[in-house]
Structure 1
Amino acid sequence: MERFHIYVIAVYILVTFISFTISVKWTTFERDDSLNGKACEDADIAFSNMLIYDKSACVLKCANHTECKSVFHTQHTGDCTGCSVSYGKNNLPTGLMDGSVCYQEKSDCPSGWSSFENSCYFITEEKTIFLSGLAKCESFDARPVIINNENENNFVLDLIKSTTNQNDDFGFFTGFTDIETEDTWVEYGTNNQMTFEYWGNGEPNYGTLENCLAFFYSVDLKWIDISCNFMLKVICEINK
């Protein structure tokens, strides 16, 4: 009988811990009913296990996995798949099976900002010249976005496409400029040179007349160099 009581207490503690883990660290996000199929892209899979029929156990496995940021649990198959990226409403996976329960780590971002890896992102509502956009980002304790790799670039592209309209918005300033040294693109105010490029065809092309960098709709949201006095929206970034 004593062993049974110990077992019951142990189970209670485990269930309490799992519930705490889900409520404090994880949040569900909406599944689009039109989605159907896999939980996340193959390259993004942190782990995959079958026959985990309890969604709490699936979430706990993800919480204890160093690379897992999102977890997808399909109750009727017991499939538990952990992804190495976080998915939000603006960046859904390509599909989820019917009956899936989906969780991701709670965002540390301010309300209205979008989370990706270790940063939060926001596109200003008003169009400004670059320096005014810089000041706007700084008012949020942020900076104009610095794109470090292809994954971040793809996230920002998705954010632009899902929250803006090409009929109203021409382009979006980033934090890169070559104001100090022509053709040496750095994070504004620093000597930190870009480590990833996504230039449109023939860009950059106007020398000292265009010293700021922007995503531009007319070139399929590739990068262009543009006058820093052009009126554009600005993409702000906060490091978590």
Structure 2
Amino acid sequence: MKQLQKITVLWICLIVQAVRIQGCRNGWIQFENSCYFLSKDAETWAEASIICVDLHSRLATVESAAENNFLKAEAHRLNAVGYWLDGTDFEVENVWRWAASGNTITYTNWGGHDPNEATHANCLALWRDFGYQWADEACRHVWNFICETSATVDGQEVIG
């Protein structure tokens, strides 16, 4: 009987833990340890960045081919012209960094002849004309955007 009680308590604990896992907010999608919001509205890069911060996130940073392929697939599904990401070369032309962290971009997936070192094209986007490969675009363009934040469990980052 005690063994049955222990198993029952264990199952109850597992069910409670499963219910407590929040993952992503409604309208956001999860990939690995991050949640993403693909906007339906179009904004300039600066406006998109502010909106992401207001949503307790940042414009998306892409750290791997797997993450990039996930975002490309979602972009294809929604079919907007382009989606802003967090990358920029504002400070030094053709030295691409993630704006939120200042880290140099190490993984890339440039399309066409980009980055083309055009001084007016300082913001990074997934562009439909390149099959949602990366493009350096003028930050004043009004495009959709992708916000990213950590997946959480009761305010703690989800691991695994």
- Give me the TM-score of the superposition, normalised by structure 2: 0.85
2:104 pairs with 193, 199, 211, which one?
193
1:137 pairs with 42, 52, 57, which one?
52
1:110 pairs with 14, 21, 25, which one?
25
3-state SS of the aligned residue for 2:119?
helix
2:21 is aligned with 1:15: no
Distance 1:128 1:189, change over 3 A: same
CA RMSD of aligned residues (A): 1.9
Q: Structure 1 residue 12: deviation in Å?
A: 2.7
Separation in structure 2 between the aligned mates of residue 196 and residue 224 of structure 1, nearest angstrom: 14
Q: Give the structure with higher Rg (CA).
A: 1
Q: Structure 1 residue 9: deviation in Å?
A: 1.7
Q: Which runs of 5+ in 1 are unaligned?
A: 1-7, 28-104
Q: Hey, what does 1:156 align to over in structure 2?
A: 71
Q: Hey, what does 1:48 align to over in structure 2?
A: none
3-state SS of the aligned residue for 1:10?
helix
**Aligned partner letter, 2:11:** I
3-state SS of the aligned residue for 1:237?
strand
Q: Structure 1 residue 210: deviation in Å?
A: 0.4
Separation in structure 2 between the aligned mates of residue 193 and residue 109 of structure 1, nearest angstrom: 27
**Aligned partner letter, 1:194:** I
Distance 1:137 1:234, change over 3 A: same
The percent of aligned pairs where both chains have the same amino acid is 26
Larger RCO (CA under 8 A, 6+ residues apart): 2
- The answer to whether the 8 A contact 2:93-2:117 is kept is no
Separation in structure 2 between the aligned mates of residue 191 and residue 225 of structure 1, nearest angstrom: 17
- The answer to whether the 8 A contact 2:98-2:105 is kept is yes
Q: Structure 1 residue 160: deviation in Å?
A: 2.0
2:121 is aligned with 1:210: yes
Q: Hey, what does 1:236 align to over in structure 2?
A: 147
- The answer to whether the 8 A contact 1:107-1:115 is kept is no
3-state SS of the aligned residue for 1:209?
coil
3-state SS of the aligned residue for 1:153?
helix
Q: Structure 1 residue 19: deviation in Å?
A: 4.2
The count of corresponding residues between Structure 1 and Structure 2 is 151
Separation in structure 2 between the aligned mates of residue 147 and residue 158 of structure 1, nearest angstrom: 14
Q: Hey, what does 1:80 align to over in structure 2?
A: none
- Give me the TM-score of the superposition, normalised by structure 1: 0.58
- The answer to whether the 8 A contact 1:173-1:214 is kept is yes
Separation in structure 2 between the aligned mates of residue 239 and residue 204 of structure 1, nearest angstrom: 29
Separation in structure 1 between the aligned mates of residue 51 and residue 134 of structure 2, nearest angstrom: 22
Separation in structure 2 between the aligned mates of residue 237 and residue 189 of structure 1, nearest angstrom: 11
Q: 1:1-240 counterparts in 2 under 5 A?
A: 8-21=1-14, 23-26=15-18, 106-162=21-77, 164=78, 166=79, 169-240=80-151
Separation in structure 2 between the aligned mates of residue 200 and residue 151 of structure 1, nearest angstrom: 17
Q: Structure 1 residue 124: deviation in Å?
A: 1.6
Deviations 1:148-200 (A, max 9, x none): 111211221222233x1x3xx21000000001111110011543011211111
